[in-house]
C-alpha cells in the first residue's frame, strides 16, 4: 500500500524523466511504494547499503537531509547520458555546502531528468540519486540513516519493488517543454519551471554544463547506457 502520513493515504508520484509504460510523466503509480531495503555490502569500505524509493516530491529534500550525514570533505558526483554512454563527472575541490548551493537551483531538473544521476560521497557516507530515481546510500551508521528516513515517513520493506526492474523510459526533462506530443503524456509542469524555461533562452536543458562548470568537474568514467 502507499505510504501513510497522518492517517491519510498519499499516492507514489513518479518523476517526469523515468516513467513506466501506461503511466504519465509526473503522475502517480499504484504499483510502486515508498520504502527502503538494507544490506551489508561486500567489497566496500562501508558497513551498510540502503536502497530507497521515495515519491518524487520528496526526493530532493531527502537527498539534502541525507547529505547532512556526508563528511565535509566530500566528492560531488554527476552522471549524464551522453550519446551511447553514461559519463560520470566528479569534483573534489569544494565544500559540501558549496556543492549543495550549486545543485539547488537545478533541483527539479536533477530529480526529473531521466538521463541524470547525482550525489555526494565521503569516507563515512555516500548518497546518490540514480537515473532510475531511487536513492542509494552507503553508510557506517545505520541508526542515523534510519532516523533521517523515518523523518520522511519512509520505512523498511521486504520485497520492495524498484522501477528499473520493469519496462520504463528515460526522458530528458527539456523534451516536455519542446515536444507537444511528449508534453501531452505528462502532468502539467510546475509554473516555476515553465518560467525558468521561458527565461533560459534555450539553455534550460544544459543544466549539466552549468553544474560541471561551477564545480570544475572532471570526467571519471564512461559506461554503456542503462
Q: What is the pLDDT of residue 9?
A: 56
Q: What is the pLDDT of residue 208?
A: 96
Q: What is the pTM of this model?
A: 0.92
Cα–Cα dist 124/103, whole Å:
21
User: Measuring CA to CA, how many Å separate 60 from each of 65, 132, 224?
Assistant: 9, 14, 26
Per-residue model confidence as pLDDT tens for the chain (226 residues): 333 333 345 799 999 999 999 999 999 999 999 999 999 999 899 999 999 999 999 999 999 999 999 999 999 999 999 878 899 999 998 999 999 999 999 999 999 999 999 999 999 999 999 999 999 999 999 999 999 999 999 999 999 999 999 999 999 999 999 999 999 999 999 999 999 999 997 899 999 999 999 999 999 999 875 5
Q: What is the pLDDT of residue 225?
A: 59
Q: What is the pLDDT of residue 10?
A: 78
Q: What is the pLDDT of residue 6?
A: 37
Domain-wise residue ranges, the chain = 8-223
The grid cell for 211 is: 553544474
Determine the 3-state secondary structure of 196 from DSSP: helix
Q: What is the pLDDT of residue 84?
A: 80
Q: What is the pLDDT of residue 3?
A: 33
Q: Are strands 116-121 and 125-129 parallel, antiparallel or unpaired?
A: antiparallel
Q: What is the DSSP letter of 73?
A: S
Q: What is the DSSP letter of 55?
A: -
Residue 175 CA to its chain's centroid (Å): 18
Q: What is the pLDDT of residue 211?
A: 98
Q: What single string gives the DSSP state of each residue in 138-152?
A: EES-HHHHHHHHHHT
Q: What is the pLDDT of residue 7?
A: 34
Contact 33, 157 (CB under 8 A): yes
Amino acid at each position: 500500500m502507499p505510504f501513510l502520513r497522518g492517517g491519510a493515504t498519499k499516492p507514489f508520484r513518479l518523476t517526469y524523466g523515468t516513467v513506466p509504460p501506461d503511466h504519465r510523466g509526473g503522475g502517480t503509480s499504484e504499483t510502486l511504494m515508498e520504502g527502503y531495503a538494507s544490506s551489508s555490502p561486500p567489497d566496500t569500505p562501508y558497513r551498510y547499503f540502503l536502497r530507497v524509493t521515495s515519491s518524487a516530491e520528496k526526493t530532493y529534500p531527502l537527498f539534502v537531509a541525507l547529505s547532512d550525514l556526508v563528511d565535509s570533505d566530500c566528492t560531488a558526483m554527476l552522471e549524464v547520458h551522453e550519446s551511447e554512454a553514461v559519463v560520470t563527472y566528479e569534483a573534489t575541490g569544494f565544500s559540501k555546502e558549496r556543492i549543495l548551493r550549486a545543485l539547488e537551483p537545478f533541483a527539479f531538473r536533477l530529480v526529473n531528468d531521466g538521463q541524470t544521476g547525482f550525489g555526494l560521497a565521503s569516507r563515512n557516507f555516500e548518497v546518490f540519486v540514480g537515473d532510475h530515481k531511487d536513492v542509494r546510500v552507503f553508510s557506517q551508521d545505520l541508526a542515523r540513516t534510519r532516523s533521517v528516513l523515518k523523518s520522511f515517513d519512509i520505512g523498511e520493506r521486504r520485497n520492495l519493488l524498484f522501477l528499473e526492474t520493469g519496462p520504463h523510459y528515460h526522458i530528458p526533462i527539456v523534451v516536455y517543454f519542446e515536444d507537444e506530443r511528449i508534453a501531452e503524456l505528462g502532468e502539467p509542469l510546475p509554473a516555476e519551471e515553465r518560467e525558468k524555461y521561458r527565461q533560459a533562452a534555450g539553455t534550460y536543458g544544459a543544466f549539466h554544463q552549468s553544474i560541471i562548470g561551477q564545480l570544475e568537474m572532471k570526467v571519471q568514467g564512461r559506461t554503456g547506457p542503462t
